[in-house]
């Protein structure tokens, strides 16, 4: 783990326009403070404004965007500024809250409603850290710990903790036992069932892009939430080879494809594609994720043993993957093979070369030789087979 920055962190420039009004106190909050202390790059910055009203924000030139509570966009930086607020549980799910924002809400009151202590810190314009709930201590101890018992009111926090574990497990972070108990308490009720598929997918997708995505799934399993949120993945999560595969560096789409291949490996081949489509529809997976998962699930075995295929099998594989018309998935498919086998290194060079040569077969030239109709199709296929055979016997292509 990178050592926590000693002394004051580097100041992340604040907003001159808002500081012109002495009633408004502005603080950098959340992930930007956490990652600054960890020495992580900061990509997004969120701000809390204490002592302000919506009218005052509008006077300063901010643009309102919040529907449920007052959030504003800075006219120059485009960053989000939220008025300090408190919240009260008023319904099911992560949207079931009543929010109260006013100039009287303090920074400490705003921070206590956050999920984890490491996310409940703020930084002022001079780089001073405001840490009322010991987030810096938990960073040092490498703990993901909830801020208050109100953690158990928001089911989304179960998934967020799992995602943070996927992000920081390689640094030695673990979930605090008392926080895991609250996560299990949430899973035991019906709160998780009120999460929208879109919001769950958003956290899942982000976790797939972290250093240790398997920790997202393992943490959900520990919290007894996996069987509720992703019951289809239980088999894959119980398979150590799958967990090892998705822990290797890879595109998030590739990790997703490997997961689904494992999840539905025991399913009849004729039903496997339908199962994957249903999973993706249920969990609102984007088409790019679904399409790659379908291709990889059906063709991975052949693709990973490409160098053992005969000419006809090679050509059939290329046609099944539609690579002659759409080769954009080839690198991702080969990346997936590299996660599950060590035998795909040669294919990474041979298959792209073969595809390039096959794409040079010109139907117009064959038509000029008198081929047409079914005869033309056979002639094209024969030319392609010949190219595949040439590669096998070692003729330069």
User: Looking at residue 13, which CATH number applies to its domain?
Assistant: 3.30.460.10
The answer to the question of residue 101 being in a domain is yes
Asked if the structure places residue 70 within a domain, the reply is: yes
Does residue 331 form part of some domain?
Answer: no
Determine, yes or no, domain membership for 83: yes
pLDDT-wise least confident of 91-105, 142-156, 254-268: 91-105
Does the model's pTM come out above 0.85? yes
pLDDT digits (tens, 9 = 90+) for 52-96: 999 988 988 899 987 767 899 999 889 999 999 887 654 544 554
* Residue 40, CA distances (Å) to 66, 141, 358 in order: 28, 17, 46
**Token pair recorded at residue 349:** 């060079």
Give the number of domains in the chain. 1
Range of the domain at 89: 1-141
Alpha carbon distance 171, 265 (integer Å): 32
| pLDDT tens-digit readout, 28-61 | 999 999 999 999 889 889 999 999 999 988 988 8
Are the C-beta atoms of 83 and 57 separated by less than 8 Å? Answer: yes
Burial 22-34, CB ≥16 within 10 A → b, else e: eebbbbbbbbbbb
Q: Mean pLDDT throughout 172-200?
A: 96
The answer to whether residue 28 is domain-embedded is yes
Residue 128 resides in a domain: yes
Helices 156-168 and 214-222 cross at an angle (nearest 10°) of: 140
The tens digit of pLDDT for each residue in 238-251 reads 999 999 999 999 99
288 confidence band (pLDDT: 50, 70, 90): very high
Half-sphere exposure of 392 (CA within 13 A, CB side): 16
- Tell me if 243 is assigned to some domain: no
Phi and psi for 168 in degrees, rounded to 5? -120, 0
Examine residue 125 and state whether it is found in any structural domain, yes or no: yes
């Amino acid at each position: 783990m990178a050592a926590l920055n000693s002394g004051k962190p580097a100041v992340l420039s604040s907003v001159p326009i808002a500081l012109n009004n002495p009633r408004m106190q502005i603080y950098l909050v959340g992930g930007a403070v956490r990652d600054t202390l960890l020495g992580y790059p900061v990509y997004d910055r969120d701000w809390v404004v204490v002592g302000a009203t919506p009218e005052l924000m509008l006077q300063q030139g901010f643009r309102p965007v919040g529907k449920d509570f007052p959030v504003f966009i800075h006219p120059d930086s485009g960053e989000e500024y939220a008025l300090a607020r408190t919240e009260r549980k008023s319904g099911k799910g992560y949207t079931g809250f009543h929010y109260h924002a006013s100039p009287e809400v303090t920074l400490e009151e705003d921070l206590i409603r956050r999920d984890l202590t490491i996310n409940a810190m703020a930084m002022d314009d001079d780089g001073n850290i405001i840490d009322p709930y010991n987030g810096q201590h938990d960073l040092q101890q490498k703990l993901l710990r909830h801020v208050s018992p109100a953690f158990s009111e928001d089911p989304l926090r179960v998934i967020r903790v799992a995602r943070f574990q996927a992000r920081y497990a390689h640094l030695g972070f673990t979930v605090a036992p008392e926080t895991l108990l609250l996560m299990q308490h949430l899973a035991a009720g019906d709160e998780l069932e009120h999460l929208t598929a879109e919001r769950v997918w958003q956290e899942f997708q982000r976790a797939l892009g972290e250093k240790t995505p398997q920790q997202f799934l393992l943490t959900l399993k520990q919290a007894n939430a996996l069987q509720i949120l992703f019951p289809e993945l239980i088999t894959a999560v119980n398979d150590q080879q799958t967990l090892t595969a998705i822990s290797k560096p890879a595109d998030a789409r590739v990790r997703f494809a490997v997961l689904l291949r494992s999840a539905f490996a025991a399913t009849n081949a004729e039903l496997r594609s339908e199962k994957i489509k249903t999973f993706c529809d249920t969990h609102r997976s984007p088409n790019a994720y679904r399409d790659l998962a379908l291709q990889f699930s059906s063709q991975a075995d052949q693709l990973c043993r490409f160098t053992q295929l005969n000419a006809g099998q090679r050509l059939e594989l290329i046609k099944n993957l539609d690579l002659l018309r759409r080769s954009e998935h080839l690198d991702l498919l080969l990346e997936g093979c590299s996660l599950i086998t060590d035998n795909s290194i040669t294919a990474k060079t041979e298959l792209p070369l073969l595809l390039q040569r096959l794409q040079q077969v010109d139907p117009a030239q064959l038509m000029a030789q008198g081929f047409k109709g079914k005869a033309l199709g056979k002639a094209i296929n024969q030319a392609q087979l010949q190219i595949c055979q040439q590669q096998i016997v070692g003729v330069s292509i």
